[in-house]
Amino acid sequence: MSLTHDLHTDDAPEGETIVSVTRVSEPVKVDASRYTDPAWAAVEHEKVWRTTWQLACSLDHVKNPGDVFVYDVGTLSILIVRADDGELRAFQNVCRHRGMQLCSEHDSGRTELRCPFHRWSWDLQGRLREVPSRKGFGALRNDDYPLFAASVDSWGPMVFVNPDPACEPLADFLDPVPAEAAWAAIDDFRCKALISIPIEANWKTIIDGFSETYHVQGIHPEMLRMVDDVNSPQVIWDRHGRLTQPYGVASPRLRGGATDQEIWEGFVEVMGGRIGIGEGEDAGECPPVPEGSTLRDVLAQRIRDHFLATEGVDLSRFDTTELMTMEQYNLFPNITVLFFGDMLQVVRAMPGATSDEGSMDIMAFDRVAADAPRRDPITTEMAPGSYSMGLVIDQDVANLERAQKGLHAPGLTELTLSGEECRIINLHRNLDRVCGG
Ligand code: FES
Ligand SMILES: [Fe+2]
């Protein structure tokens, strides 16, 4: 299967592929077996997860020397270590003696990485230091047994690893996304939580749910009052993509439009916390919109006022567009990063033990004053539906297992995609490239 021809490049600035929602010439087909076949999952394990940069944790998780974070993907396990020289390093989580995993969970205050089996020990830079009963091995040189290095680097507060120690630099992999998102000054975000939700769905089913907003009309009807899900430009670069979506306006799908009061109520229902109105609280009257302003301007100012009052954070550098228009970046293969000026949230889809299992992980960040100290994020697993992640995310989670089950129907050999789903098309185009189509 080749998807390359389906994305149009006309009118694109150099280096970009602009995909308008109507620009595919015919429906784009993707084999459904990619979502259900264990053989395809095995190919992904070899060709994708072993060789690709992937989001592992936040800088808050490894802020102090001696902090160790365990990142597992399929049968791979990588340790991310803040060493005593202050540098971040990554190693395969394996002992060079007989292959025991060195660490089973995140830890802090480590001065060494010691295997619990026979107690070989490495320093935090991965150098072998101690071998009990060393003489029994004859001539064993420490320098011959460093931990196996992996690649590690960060973008803003997000830590990425690549199991391949000789891979391309992270900055090259992410290009041009960090430059495009530089306006959001993401170094000033701190991670407050990394929540993993096990889901009986393939990782692609999970991330596809965060790669298009065609489904807003289906499973998030409340949003139609407060988001323009139709006039939302998308950009596809080589591996990554972006959606730009205006909030604080009604969807054109609402034929009669919506009044300011309805838009206000919709905004409060979906994301009232951004203006200090908690879930379930009455939205009240829409504030007056001054002459020459829009409701988006009024909402943006409420966000600035709320942040200054509660967090002491000045958002005056962000204009209405930066506070009221979401930028959503989809990074190959399994990550989506959502920005408003006051918000950074990441959704990561992880493969599970079978092609029908995975997890939807949410990394939530708070904007803080510049140079504010790092946090201790909550890092935990939660059953689907056991805790509300907010109206919209709850609706997404509730949808995923059913979306996966249907993919096993005997007649359904292909998914049929539109230009509006170009970020899903682009994922498969890149999987073609990495795994072979
Ligand atoms: S397996 Fe690690 S010390 Fe033996
Ligand atoms: Fe959704």
First-residue to last-residue Cα distance in the chain: 5
CA distance 395 to 338: 17
pTM of the model: 0.94
Q: Which atom of ligand 1 is nearest to the CA of 99?
A: 1
Question: In this structure, which ligand is nearest to the CA of 99?
Answer: 1
Residue to mutate, 96, 120, 134, 142, ligand 1, most ligand atoms under 8 Å from C-beta: 120
pLDDT recorded at residue 279: 85
Which protein residue's CA is at the shortest distance from atom 1 of ligand 1? Answer: 98
Ranges in the chain, pLDDT < 50: 1-6, 8-11, 19-22
- Kindly state the tokens that stand for 251: 């969807």
Nearest atom in ligand 1 to 119's CA: 3
Q: Would you state the CATH architecture of domain 54-166?
A: 3-layer Sandwich (2.102)
Looking at residue 7, its pLDDT comes to 53
C-alpha 135 to ligand 2 mean position (Å): 60
Report domain extents, the chain: 1-51+185-437, 54-166
Instruction: Give the closest residue (by CA) to ligand 1 atom 3.
Output: 118
Place of tokens 């129907």: 409
Q: Whose CA is nearest to atom 4 of ligand 1?
A: 118
Beta strands 189-199 and 378-381 are parallel
Q: What is the reported pLDDT for 436?
A: 85
Ligand nearest, relative to CA of residue 212: 2
Nearest atom in ligand 1 to 115's CA? 2
What distance in angstroms lies between residue 366's CA and the mean position of ligand 2's atoms? 21
The ligand that comes nearest to the alpha carbon of residue 217 is: 2
Distance CA 113, CA 96 (A): 12
Strand order in the sheet with 241-246: 17-19, 234-236, 241-246, 325-331, 335-340, 343-351, 358-367, 189-199, 378-381
Ligand number with the minimum distance to the CA of 98: 1
Fold for the domain defined by 1-51+185-437: Naphthalene 1,2-dioxygenase Alpha Subunit; Chain A, domain 1 (3.90.380)
Pocket mutation for ligand 1, best pick of 102, 118, 130, 148 (most atoms within 8 Å of C-beta): 118
Cα 396 to middle of ligand 2, angstroms? 5
Distance in Å, CA 48 to ligand 2 centroid? 25
Specify the ligand 1 atom closest to the Cα of 98.
1
Query: What pLDDT score was predicted for residue 5?
Result: 40
Q: Do domains 1-51+185-437 and 54-166 have the same CATH topology?
A: no
Residue to mutate, 91, 93, 100, 142, ligand 1, most ligand atoms under 8 Å from C-beta: 100
**50 alpha carbon – ligand 1 mean position (Å):** 24
Give the pLDDT confidence score for residue 342 in this predicted structure: 97
Pick from 332, 263, 335, 331: nearest CA to 299: 263
Among 93, 103, 117, 122, say which to mutate for ligand 1: greatest number of ligand atoms within 8 Å of CB. Answer: 117
Please give the pLDDT value at position 9.
Answer: 43
Say how far apart CA 146 and CA 18 lie, in whole Å.
Answer: 46
- Of 154, 207, 186, 195, which Cα lies nearest the Cα of 363? 195
Residues contacting ligand 1 via CB (< 6 Å): 95, 97-98, 100, 115, 117-120
Residues near 357 by beta carbon (within 8 Å), at least 6 away in sequence = 198, 199, 200, 201, 202, 351
**Predicted pLDDT at 301:** 98
At 389 the pLDDT is 86
Helical segments of 239-347, H only:
260-271, 295-311, 320-324
Helices (runs of H) and strands (runs of E) counted in the chain: 10, 20
Ligand 1 atom nearest to 100, measured from its CA: 1
Bond into 233 cis (ω within 30)? no
> Model confidence over 165-180: pLDDT tens digits?
999 999 999 999 999 9
